[in-house]
């Protein structure tokens, strides 16, 4: 999906219960199986509940969660869609964030945005996958709006996993618009016991590489202007020795550029707000 795949926020050790299962024995059954790692039993219960014509929101939520933990959304996509589509409007409003997660996990960005509420997102997971979708589709104005909501949510978030989702969304947004200081700050606040540790640590390194690459581009531009000045003045201002020094400086910068661009291929540079056309 990407040059650097994000951590999977649905790994079993990072599960989060975001819905109440009171009043639904089916939802409690699915959660119980999932909590003790009974994969076959959990997925069997999921299959049964998704076959029902009408289900409760908490049943859909627990089925969605169990699929994320024990299976993959690609395999269950059609069943989840069919179940969601035959429910009431009230159900759909409540379960909208789960559809954002479904399509975001599959890299179906346009579909994810059909369910995303940029101004009133409901969950940290919705904000995480929503931000990823917006950035992939270059919808930076909407991403800016969602970033404000992420910041508000982070101020009141007490769960470390939710905090990690929000920090990741913010860090990626800030990186994309070249607010590298803010991006680094977000990555540095990442709780490293959460699944995004690689994203955070490598994200900081990539920002330092991006700063170095920007310095190289500026250096090469300055050298290019210096050479043009020499041509315009019939090389009176840059005698032979100085021209040789300029050539050596340019050669060294180009060597650094090639090395960093190998570490930061095209999509990585785009995610850091670097114009690929500069390379």
* Domain identity same for 210 and 116: no
Residue finishing a domain among 125, 158, 190: 190
7, part of any domain: no
Contact 134, 113 (CB under 8 A): yes
What is the number of structural domains in the chain? 2
Give 5 or 178, the one with higher predicted confidence: 178
Closest by alpha carbon to 187, among 211, 205, 162?
A: 205
* CATH of residue 34: 1.25.40.10
Q: Provide Rg for the chain, Cα atoms.
A: 24
Closest by alpha carbon to 132, among 14, 3, 10, 6?
A: 6
3, part of any domain: no
* Domain identity same for 141 and 223: no
**In the numeric block, which tokens belong to residue 50?**
């998704």
In which domain, by residue range, is 24 found? Answer: 12-190
pLDDT, the chain, mean: 90
* Domain identity same for 20 and 92: yes
269, part of any domain: yes
Kindly report, residue by residue over 83-138, the tens digit of the pLDDT.
999 999 999 999 999 999 999 999 999 999 999 999 999 999 999 999 999 999 99
Kindly report, residue by residue over 13-60, the tens digit of the pLDDT.
444 545 555 568 899 999 999 999 999 999 999 999 999 999 999 999
Residues in the chain: 279
């Amino acid at each position: 999906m990407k040059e650097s795949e994000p951590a999977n926020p649905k790994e079993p050790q990072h599960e989060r219960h975001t819905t109440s299962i009171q009043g639904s024995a089916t939802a409690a059954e699915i959660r119980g199986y999932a909590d003790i790692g009974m994969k076959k039993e959990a997925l069997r219960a999921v299959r049964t509940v998704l076959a029902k014509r009408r289900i409760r929101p908490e049943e859909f939520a627990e089925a969605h969660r169990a699929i994320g933990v024990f299976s993959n959304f690609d395999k269950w996509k059609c069943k989840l869609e069919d179940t969601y589509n035959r429910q009431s409007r009230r159900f759909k409003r409540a379960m909208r964030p789960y559809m954002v997660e479904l399509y975001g996990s599959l890299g179906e960005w346009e579909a994810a945005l059909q369910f995303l509420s940029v101004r009133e997102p409901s969950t940290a997971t919705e904000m995480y996958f929503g931000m990823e979708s917006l950035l992939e589709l270059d919808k930076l104005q909407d991403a800016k709006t969602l970033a404000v909501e992420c910041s508000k949510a982070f101020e009141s978030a007490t769960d470390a996993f939710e905090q990690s989702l929000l920090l990741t969304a913010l860090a990626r947004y800030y990186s994309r618009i070249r607010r590298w200081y803010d991006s680094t700050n977000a990555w540095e606040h990442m709780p490293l016991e959460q699944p995004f540790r690689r994203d955070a640590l490598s994200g900081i390194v990539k920002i330092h590489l991006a700063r170095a690459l920007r310095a190289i581009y500026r250096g090469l531009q300055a050298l290019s202007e210096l050479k043009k000045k020499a041509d315009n003045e019939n090389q009176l201002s840059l005698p032979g020795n100085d021209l040789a020094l300029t050539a050596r400086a340019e050669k060294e910068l180009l060597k650094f550029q090639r090395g960093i661009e190998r570490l930061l291929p095209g999509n990585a540079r785009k995610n850091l707000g670097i114009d690929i056309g500069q390379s």
